[in-house]
Copies of this chain bind each other. A is one copy, B any other.
Amino acid sequence: MSWTLRTADLDDLARGAALLGTGGGGDPFVGKMLVAQALGEVGAITVLDPEELDDDAWVIPVAQMGAPTVVVEKMPRGTEPELALTTLERHSGRSADATMPMECGGINSMIPLLVAARRGLPVVDADGMGRAFPQLEMETFSVYGISASPLAMANEHDEVAIFDTGTDNARLEGLARGVTARFGGMAHIAQYSMTGADVKRTAIPRTLSLALAIGRSIRASREQRLDPVQALVDGLTETIYGYGRVLFQGKVIDVDRRTDEGFARGSVRMAGEDGDELEVQFQNENLFALRSGVVVAMVPDLICIVEADSAEPVTTEALRYGQRVAVIGIATPPIMRTPEALAVFGPSCFGLDREFVPVESLERAWPAQ
Contact = CB atoms under 8 A, between A and B. Distances in A.
A168 to B, nearest CB: 7
A253 interface: no
B164 A174 contact: no
Contacts of A258: none
A157 interface: yes
Interface string A152-165: 00000111111111
A367 interface: no
A164 B175 contact: no
A364 to B, nearest CB: 45
Nearest to A152: B162
A162 B165 contact: no
A184 to B, nearest CB: 11
Interface in A159-192: 159-166, 168, 171, 174-175, 178-179, 181-182
A320 interface: no
Given A159-B164, A161-B163, A178-B178, 16 more contacts: A91-B91, A91-B162, A157-B165, A157-B168, A159-B165, A159-B171, A159-B175, A160-B162, A160-B163, A161-B161, A161-B162, A161-B164, A161-B175, A162-B162, A178-B179, A178-B181
A153 to B, nearest CB: 9
A178 B157 CA distance: 18
19 contacts: A91-B91, A157-B165, A157-B166, A157-B168, A157-B171, A159-B163, A159-B166, A159-B175, A160-B163, A160-B164, A161-B162, A161-B163, A161-B164, A162-B162, A162-B163, A174-B182, A175-B179, A175-B182, A178-B178
Interface of A: 91, 157-166, 168, 171, 174-175, 178-179, 181-182
Oligomeric state, in number of copies? Answer: 2
Contacts of A159: 163-166, 168, 171, 175
A71 to B, nearest CB: 20
A158 B171 CA distance: 12
Nearest to A87: B164
Contacts of A181: 178
Of A160, A174, A181, most buried by chain B (CB within 10 Å of CB) is A160
A290 to B, nearest CB: 34
Contacts of A91: 91, 162
A335 to B, nearest CB: 29
Contacts of A179: 175, 178-179
Contacts of A165: 157, 159
A171 B183 CA distance: 10
Contacts of A171: 157, 159
Contacts of A161: 161-164, 175
A159 to B, nearest CB: 4
Contacts of A166: 157-159
